[in-house]
Chains A and B, each alone.
Chain A
Amino acid sequence: MAESSKARAAVKFCFWTLAAAVLIFIVARAYTNGQMAAWFYYEAKVDGYAVNARSIMHATKEAPAVLKVGPFAYVDGERAVPVRKGDRLPANATGVIGADVVKRGRRARLQADTLVVTIPWQIAEKSGFKFKDTFQHKGIETYAWGAVWNVLMTLGLGLTLGYMAEGFTDLLGIKLEKIRHFEGH
């Protein structure tokens, strides 16, 4: 009897561990091969210029980032691509500097066929906590089904890891019984 429950616990633990490992592998692979980034930086939410915000975040008024504007398929610290709302973003783009920001000219301005970025970040605040807010994630729209995928993966991970832990305690022989809520102790 004890042998069979031990075997059942081992099967349960192995099954859920395998399921959890598969999900972790899928998430890690989608992250490292750029699939998740492609869903995240999917299309432009506003008219403006798609840039790689990370590569220009150290720009200053004294040493601005000067980006060549053109219809490139790939952006880096030296390129910006003009986009309209709803356009797919070029590869490696992590933010869109809105046309209104460029028009105001305080943080970025157009100069012939170049985009000059002088103030790439500002201090923002969330629930009383300050943080450095850059052009990253600005003016971008994520792929809706990618968001659904995120939630399904999260719930799936929770479920598989939860049952894996349950299988582990069963395997160790730690007997967790239902709590008797209404009895004296």
Chain B
Amino acid sequence: MFDFTIAGVVAPIFLLVFVGFTVGTVGGFIGVGGGYMVTPALIVFGFPGYMASGIDMTHIAGKGVVATVRHRQLGNIDWTMALSMVAGTMLGVELGVRLLVHFKNLGISSVVLLITSVIVMFGLFLYTQIETRRAHVKTEQMTRDGEAVGREIQTSSLPRFFQNIPFFPIVRCRTARVVVSMWVIVLVGIVTGVLAGFLGVGGGFIRVPALVYLVGASTHIAVGTDLVEIVFSGGYGALRHSIEGHVDMMAVLFMICGSMLGAQFGSIATSYVRGPAIRYILSYSLILATFGAALRLTYVLTGQSVEILALLAVMLTLGEMIFLCLFIVSLVWFAVRRKRGKVVPPWVPALVVS
């Protein structure tokens, strides 16, 4: 147990390191900050809600740097794309925060925030799940036909539409092999930034699908590039929260130590899998988070009288982190077995690289 004198809480160090580790693993693998998972966990450990948000956002900035260092080594970052998006992201986050303050003043921030979360996350889950399923089937077909299968298989036609928008300046993102109007990237930054600022999260779970389906980046590059954005948006959020007095640095320190280990594993795990595997994990994280938000929304709409709903929401959110970690571990385990020529389940070869 450690006495966090600034937060005014006594909490076990092990749990903070563990949460940092699990969210670091998931974040390093699918390129999300994991704010929607960590904040509830910290509240369960006894941190006040505002402190939980501040500690979470600050740790996300640190974890973003850790994961960025590793993804840079793996060649998963397109710096042109990342830096083109930064200004849009920052502007979007600021607009999102102001929008949230507006709804707060109207006294309906919780309901609007939860409804938006449910709609956005469920919509993204549906699209990602359907598209990834199609990509999975296509990969299996190609494998059966004896064709060489690339690390990335996408079936969405949206990137072609956005890449054909002719507004000057057109940028060439060499690592992602994408040529697209800079305004498309900036717009993606603004829109995802608004949602991130409004929902109070890093925004990775919106930005990764947007980079894949709108800009046309491969999933691995979307993950690495998004983590660079998370460093900027997380750093900005951390500064705002620190100024407001929502950050206990010792809690952040313990969480970063855990997430350092997790982010290594999650980032390196991406080198074992194809793009659709990352998108599957992303979509499962989205649907689980949607269930959590839906339970909390029901709880708020029923006048906070059915306590079991709040309890279920907390359990689901905490269980989600462990479930996703185990899923990632199992994918790496199967990838290694396949490399060694051992038997793996039939759905595995289409998701991992040999």
Task: State the A residues within 8 Å of B (CB).
Answer: 24, 27-28, 30-31, 36-37, 40, 53-54, 94, 124-134, 136-137, 140-142, 144, 146-148, 150-151, 153-155, 157-159, 161-166, 169, 176, 178-185
Contact = CB atoms under 8 A, between A and B. Distances in A.
23 contacts: A27-B253, A36-B249, A54-B8, A127-B200, A127-B296, A128-B110, A128-B293, A128-B296, A128-B300, A129-B43, A129-B49, A129-B296, A131-B43, A150-B58, A151-B239, A154-B62, A154-B256, A158-B62, A158-B66, A158-B260, A165-B261, A179-B76, A183-B151
A166 B66 CA distance: 10
A94 B6 CA distance: 8
Contact of B268 (A126, A140, A176): A176
A66 to B, nearest CB: 21
B70 A162 contact: yes
A162 B75 contact: no
Interface residues of B, number: 79
Given A127-B110, A150-B238, A181-B177, 14 more contacts: A27-B253, A54-B8, A129-B43, A131-B49, A134-B8, A148-B239, A151-B61, A151-B242, A165-B69, A165-B260, A179-B151, A182-B177, A184-B150, A185-B353
B351 to A, nearest CB: 11
A154 B252 contact: yes
Nearest to B295: A128
Nearest to B49: A126
B62 A132 contact: no
Contacts of B151: 179-183, 185
Contact of A150 (B53, B249, B261, B353): B249
A181 B238 CA distance: 33
B190 interface: no
Given A166-B73, A176-B271, A179-B220, A129 B235 contact: no
Contacts of A147: 239, 242-243, 247
Contacts of A94: 8
Contacts of B244: 142
A157 to B, nearest CB: 5
Nearest to B260: A161
A179 B245 contact: no
A181 B152 contact: yes
A40 B39 CA distance: 21
B239 A127 contact: no
Interface in B33-74: 39-40, 43, 47-53, 58-59, 61-70, 73-74
A162 B68 contact: yes
B130 interface: no
A136 B52 CA distance: 14
A40 B218 CA distance: 43
Given A179-B76, A179-B220, A165 B66 contact: yes
A146 B6 CA distance: 13
Nearest to A94: B8
B211 interface: no
B310 A151 contact: no
